[in-house]
Structure 1
C-alpha cells in the first residue's frame, strides 16, 4: 500500500511530504510513549500518535520512519511542519481515533511488529 492510499483510507490531511506519497508501506506502529517506540519498534515506516510535538519527529527520524500520522485531529504548529520538511518526514493528520486508524490499516494489509507477540 502506498502512503497516498493510506492518506485516502484514513481521510487524512497532508501537511508535508508530498514527494513521499508514492512510497510503499507495509508496517506501522502506534504509541503516545516515545520511549516505547524507541525500545520496541523495529522496521516500521509509519508512526501513529496522539502527540503533537517535535519529540515525535525526533523519534521518527531516529527510527528511520517515513511518516507520522497524528490522530484525533491533532494539528501541528508551523515549526513542527517545518521540522518535518527538513527531516523529509511525511506528516498527516486524521480525525479518526488511534484505535480505528490502526484497525483500518491492519485490515488493509499494513502490519505491526510481531516480534514481541
Structure 2
C-alpha cells in the first residue's frame, strides 16, 4: 500500500480535486488510455494512471468505483472534469511524467499492479 501523499511527493504531482485525501492509502495501480480496459477492473483503492483527459475518463472511473486518477504527460484537467470528479468524491492528480516513468516510480515505492 502507498499513501497518496507519497504519490504526490514522488511524482511532483498537483492535486486538482480531493485535497483531503492525501493520507488515504492506495492498494493498486493500473495504467491505460483505453477506458474499455478500465471497465474490466475489479479492485478496491485503485489509482488509474492515464493520459486520456476527458469527461469519459471521469465517467468510466465512476462506473468502476475508481476514486484516484493520475493524469500523466502534463495533461490538464478541464473545469467540467474537475466538477464531475469533485461531485463523485474523486481525487485528481496531474504530473508531467510519462506514463512509463510514473509507473516505474510508483512501482519503486511499493504500489502493486492489478495483475
TM norm structure 2: 0.93
Q: Secondary structure at the match of 1:92?
A: strand
Q: Secondary structure at the match of 1:95?
A: coil
Which 4+ runs in 1 deviate beyond 2 A? none
Q: Secondary structure at the match of 2:113?
A: coil
Match of 1:72 in 2: 73
**Distance (whole Å) between structure 2 residues aligned to residue 42 and residue 107 of structure 1:** 23
Match of 1:42 in 2: 42
Q: Is residue 26–residue 109 contact of structure 1 (8 Å, CA) maintained in 2?
A: no
Q: Secondary structure at the match of 1:61?
A: helix
Match of 2:62 in 1: 61
Alignment of 1:94-113 (within 5 A): 94-113=95-114
**Distance (whole Å) between structure 1 residues aligned to residue 61 and residue 11 of structure 2:** 20
Give the drift of 1:69: 0.5
Give the drift of 1:42: 2.2
In structure 1, runs of 5+ residues without a counterpart are none
Q: Could you report, residue by residue, the CA deviation over 1:49-105 in whole angstroms, capped at 9, with x for unpaired residues?
A: 011101111111111112110000000111111111001100000000000000111
**Distance (whole Å) between structure 1 residues aligned to residue 111 and residue 34 of structure 2:** 21
Match of 1:6 in 2: 7
Aligned CA RMSD, in angstroms, stands at: 1.0
Q: Secondary structure at the match of 1:64?
A: coil
